[in-house]
Amino acid sequence: MEVSHAIPASMAGRTSRWRRLADRPRAGMARLLDTVRERIESLPYDYPPAVIIGTDLALLVITGAAVIQRHSYFPSPLPLLAMAAAFLPIPLFALFGVKPHPLLLKGSALLSCALFLLQPVSADFAPFVLVLVAGEVAAVASRGITLGFALVAILQLVAFDLAGHVQWGTEGQRLQGLPMYVLGILLGVFVGVMLQYQRRFLYQERENQAIRAGHAADEERRRIAREVHDVIAHSLSITLLHLTAARRALQTDDDVTEAVEALVDAERLGRQAMADIRRTVGMLDTSPALLAPEPSAADIDELVGDYRRAGLVVDYVRTGDLAVIEGTVGHALYRIGQESLANVAKHAPGNAATVRLDVSTDAATLVVTNPLPLGPPPRHDAGMGVRGMRKRTELLGGSITAGAVDDGWTVRARFPLKSGACSTITALLPGMLKTRPQEDM
């Protein structure tokens, strides 16, 4: 027989009822704590809850010490009333949602200190209530309210000192307590003002971070827009050249084989362009992924080959070692060459283009030229192409010119290479070592 069957039903019901009654205070306390935590977080002062709770605990220690000091006045309830007055904003805030306004904090502190000082004791802790609340007010209120409370608190201590209620040590040392309390109030004000300035600097830093994040997002969108523009312009230009070649092969020569080859190349380039677009748009995805490497200066050979196979006449010359070109510079050179050839295919499809890539120890220079077509010159600077090339070049510290020169259109981009500075230092190093004095070796 199970144990639960051995317990009478009336006894089991009474046990569960007592359990529910015992759990009800704990549940109510948990709800109250959750409500207080939410209200603390909703305060406009934006201080961590730990700071606020720590301040309340410090006030509890000060008022508790002041109550214990007045044990000789027992059974007078005045110290307990003073302690309750100091904590008056807390139940008003926790139970009724009344925000701890600086005026409420000031009034409760002045009332609490006054009730304590009505029963003077030696080495009194009661004035430190004003010190602590002066820091709280200075941390959340304006400068005028802060200075006003400090002045009223000091005047209150002076009044009670004149009445003989502010004591510190023996009769001959009574006057030493007032300056100490006044300096404590001023110190509390300074600490509160420091916290308020720290909070303002925090707000300013958050605003600056938001502005920087917005600028970074805008720059990233512009960069991706340039990438998509270059990919689409390049792929569509070559695809249209292949389609034109296929149409002419079918219309003039009835050469199906040549037309099929042109269409196959157009299909291949279209698929490559779709992969490039997917990769570029994939930059927006923050999840880790294996991305294809970005094109570099070594891919300019294949780029020129694509345009040649599409029917564009391109004279290509490359000099120098591509290994000294960094990845970012190589990528920029590729995109500039891509955009320049796309513009040739778009604006002057019947003309030949010349591509020169010169790599030296200190710079990499790309020059793309083509004759201007008949008619009014196209406005190359009106679209995204030239602006994108200029932006890429400026970000890497290079220089670029694009415009009409000697009846032709020339794009010239030059990027400094870090290896040039290293090689210069390496060349100068032996001479520097030779001129070094012998005694320094």
Q: Could you say which of 169, 186, 210 is where a domain stops? A: 210
| Residue 182 sits in the same domain as residue 231 | no
Query: What is the model's pLDDT at position 132?
Result: 92
Res. 397 pLDDT band, cuts 50 70 90: confident
Q: pLDDT per residue over 369-387, tens digit each?
A: 988 776 655 554 445 677 8
Within a domain: 1: no
Within a domain: 431: no
| Residue 269 sits in the same domain as residue 372 | yes
Res. 56 pLDDT band, cuts 50 70 90: confident
Compute CA 429 distance to the chain's CA centroid, rounded to the nearest angstrom.
43
Q: Which domain, by its residues, includes 289?
A: 217-424
Selected residue with higher pLDDT from 426 and 242: 242
Within a domain: 140: yes
**212: burial class by Cβ within 10 Å (0-12, 13-18, 19+)?**
exposed
Cβ–Cβ < 8 Å for 398, 416: yes
| Residue 17 sits in the same domain as residue 132 | yes
| Residue 199 sits in the same domain as residue 234 | no
How far apart are the C-alpha atoms of 4 and 394, rounded to whole Å?
83
Res. 306 pLDDT band, cuts 50 70 90: confident
| Residue 322 sits in the same domain as residue 392 | yes
Selected residue with higher pLDDT from 339 and 254: 339
Write down the H helix ranges in 42-142.
Answer: 49-69, 78-86, 89-96, 102-117, 128-140
Within a domain: 2: no
| Residue 234 sits in the same domain as residue 368 | yes
Query: What is the model's pLDDT at position 425?
Result: 38
Q: Which H or E run includes 284? A: none
* Beta bridge partner(s), residue 318: 357
| Residue 23 sits in the same domain as residue 80 | yes
Query: What is the model's pLDDT at position 434?
Result: 43
Within a domain: 439: no
| Residue 121 sits in the same domain as residue 259 | no
CATH number at residue 379: 3.30.565.10
Query: What is the model's pLDDT at position 44?
Result: 65
| Residue 230 sits in the same domain as residue 194 | no
Residues of the chain above pLDDT 70, percent: 73
Give the highest mean pLDDT range of 9-18, 158-167, 184-193, 195-204: 184-193
Q: How many domains does the chain have?
A: 2
Cβ–Cβ < 8 Å for 337, 353: no
| Position 67 pLDDT exceeds 90 | yes
| Residue 206 sits in the same domain as residue 254 | no
Query: What is the model's pLDDT at position 376?
Result: 57
| Residue 174 sits in the same domain as residue 193 | yes
Residues of the chain above pLDDT 90, percent: 19
Average pLDDT over residues 44-48: 72
Residues 6+ apart with CB under 8 A from 44: 99
Q: Residues for the chain: how many in total?
A: 441
| Position 199 pLDDT exceeds 90 | no
Res. 24 pLDDT band, cuts 50 70 90: low
Angle 101-105-109 (CA atoms, 0-180°, nearest 5)?
170
Average pLDDT over residues 305-310: 81
Cβ–Cβ < 8 Å for 409, 370: yes
Q: Could you say which of 146, 181, 210 is where a domain stops? A: 210
How far apart are the C-alpha atoms of 133 and 188, rounded to whole Å?
8
Selected residue with higher pLDDT from 335 and 274: 335
Q: Could you say which of 164, 190, 210 is where a domain stops? A: 210
Within a domain: 273: yes
Average pLDDT over residues 143-163: 90
Mean pLDDT computed over every residue of the chain: 77
Within a domain: 112: yes
Token duo for residue 379: 């406005």
| Residue 277 sits in the same domain as residue 202 | no
Within a domain: 361: yes
